[in-house]
């Protein structure tokens, strides 16, 4: 019997979210970058869906099986990340290294994980079962970290020759990947330290930012990225906790199996129809909370655009700009200059 709680609900929600995110990006781009990103999100989703089953397992034996299945995704993640970065920077110099990384994952890490070299048994915490590392597990962490930071180095090196949008995309990705490494705190739980297993949250923040960076030709300001990221994280947490509470209540009531399935279907449909509107609302709230001056800035730009649309002379343009900015800057020290293309000089 699977007992849902807040942590398992988060992993389950994140697994579906990541698989959907990768599928959408691949559908929109239909290129090598989109495919590499789909492989990356799928490997992360495998880890998260298996973790959900491990946490909610009925005993240590099935829990151990699910943790080993989860390491199929974990073993593939450093290889798929390296593959994605090398594909994004459009360099064929790393093709052999990509192949080697995949071979290490498929023919060494996954078989050794399934054989119990890195994981053996399962820890039982108050919130559920979890991965149990062996004395050889640090070897896996060293390899994972080495390839992760090498991938960052490859991205950082490529930034030297990148310009414009491409460079901005790389900055977004580097920031996102640094955030994702916070998920490594979950490794502490592998060694018997009872901490909340929240490693999925930095991962979804990272992959959401990367998805945005590769899907947009014109990147929004970091303000919008932060507010969107915060909105999605809060929404996922809220829906996960709500679902966990609902399932706990249902478990305490003697419902028939058919009624439990019906309640699950209704809950999923409700989440599907309300998630995006709720996320948009949260984005508005977080944007106002963290960037209080943004509303005034938007109003100012709206006023400026309206004024300029009816300006037909240099003086009209100058007056409209001064009027729009008078509350934001020192009007006494502000001048509006125009470029004279013939002389190449600015004139007032």
pLDDT string in tens for the chain (348-residue length): 455 677 888 898 889 889 998 998 898 888 899 999 999 999 999 999 999 999 999 899 999 999 999 999 999 999 999 999 999 998 899 999 999 999 999 999 999 999 999 999 999 998 899 999 999 999 999 999 999 999 999 999 998 888 877 888 888 888 888 888 888 889 999 999 988 888 888 898 888 888 888 876 554 455 565 666 667 767 777 777 777 677 778 777 888 878 877 887 888 788 778 877 888 888 777 666 555 544 555 566 666 666 666 666 667 777 766 666 665 554 445 566 666 666 666 666
Q: What's the burial of 128, exposed, middle or buried (CB within 10 Å: 0-12/13-18/19+)?
A: buried
Three-class DSSP category at 123:
strand
User: In this structure, are 333 and 187 located in the same domain?
Assistant: no
Residue numbers of the domain that contains 132:
6-219
Name every residue whose Cβ is closer than 8 Å to that of residue 297 and which is 6 or more positions away in sequence: 328
Structural domain includes residue 117: yes
User: In this structure, are 156 and 11 located in the same domain?
Assistant: yes
Total tally of structural domains belonging to the chain: 2
Model's pTM, two decimal places? Answer: 0.70
Of 195, 219, 243, the position where a domain reaches its end is 219
Structural domain includes residue 257: no
Residue 329: other Cβ atoms inside 10 A: 11
pLDDT of residue 42: 96
d(CA 68, CA 63): 9
Structural domain includes residue 247: no
User: In this structure, are 179 and 301 located in the same domain?
Assistant: no
Structural Rg of the chain based on CA atoms: 25
Structural domain includes residue 259: no
User: In this structure, are 19 and 108 located in the same domain?
Assistant: yes
Q: What share of the chain is helix, strand, coil (3-state, %, to 5)?
A: 75, 5, 20
User: In this structure, are 193 and 304 located in the same domain?
Assistant: no
Structural domain includes residue 211: yes
User: In this structure, are 48 and 169 located in the same domain?
Assistant: yes
d(CA 214, CA 29): 9
User: In this structure, are 302 and 203 located in the same domain?
Assistant: no
User: In this structure, are 115 and 207 located in the same domain?
Assistant: yes
CATH code of the domain containing 150: 1.20.1070.10
Of 219, 250, 283, the position where a domain reaches its end is 219
Name every residue whose Cβ is closer than 8 Å to that of residue 17 and which is 6 or more positions away in sequence: 204, 236
- Backbone phi, psi, residue 297, to 5°: -65, -40
Structural domain includes residue 271: no
Q: At which residue do the structure tokens 């478990």 appear?
A: 251
User: In this structure, are 154 and 39 located in the same domain?
Assistant: yes
Structural domain includes residue 282: no
User: In this structure, are 199 and 322 located in the same domain?
Assistant: no
Residue 326: other Cβ atoms inside 10 A: 12
Structural domain includes residue 93: yes
Q: Check if the beta carbon of residue 76 is closer than 8 Å to that of residue 43.
A: yes
Of 192, 219, 246, the position where a domain reaches its end is 219
């Amino acid at each position: 019997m699977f007992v849902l709680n807040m942590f398992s609900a988060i992993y389950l929600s994140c697994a579906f979210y990541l698989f959907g995110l990768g599928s959408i990006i691949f559908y929109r781009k239909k290129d090598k970058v989109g495919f590499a990103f789909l492989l990356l999100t799928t490997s992360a989703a495998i880890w998260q869906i298996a973790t959900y089953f491990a946490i909610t397992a009925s005993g240590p034996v099935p829990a151990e099986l699910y943790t080993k299945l989860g390491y199929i995704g974990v073993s593939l993640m450093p290889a798929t990340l390296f593959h994605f970065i090398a594909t994004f920077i459009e360099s064929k110099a790393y093709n052999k290294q990509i192949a080697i990384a995949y071979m290490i994952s498929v023919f060494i890490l996954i078989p050794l994980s399934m054989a119990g070299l890195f994981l053996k048994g399962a820890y039982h915490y108050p919130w559920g079962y979890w991965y149990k590392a062996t004395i050889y597990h640090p070897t896996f962490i060293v390899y994972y970290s080495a390839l992760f930071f090498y991938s960052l180095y490859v991205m950082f090196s490529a930034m030297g020759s990148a310009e414009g949008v491409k460079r901005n995309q790389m900055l977004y990705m580097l920031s996102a990947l640094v955030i994702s490494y916070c998920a490594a705190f979950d490794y502490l739980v592998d060694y018997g330290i009872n901490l909340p297993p929240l490693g999925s949250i930095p991962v979804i923040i990272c992959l959401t930012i990367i998805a945005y960076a590769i899907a947009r030709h014109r990147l929004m300001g970091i303000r919008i990225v932060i507010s969107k990221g915060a909105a999605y994280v809060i929404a996922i947490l809220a829906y996960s906790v709500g679902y966990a509470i609902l399932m706990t209540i249902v478990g305490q009531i003697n419902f028939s199996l058919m009624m439990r399935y019906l309640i699950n279907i209704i809950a999923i449909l409700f989440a599907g129809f309300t998630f995006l509107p709720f996320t948009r609302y949260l984005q508005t709230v977080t944007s106002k909370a963290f960037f209080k001056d943004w509303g005034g800035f938007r109003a100012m730009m709206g006023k400026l655009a309206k004024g300029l649309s009816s300006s037909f002379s240099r003086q009209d343009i100058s007056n409209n700009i001064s009027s729009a900015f008078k509350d934001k800057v020192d009007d006494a020290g502000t001048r509006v200059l125009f470029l004279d293309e013939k002389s190449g000089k600015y004139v007032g």
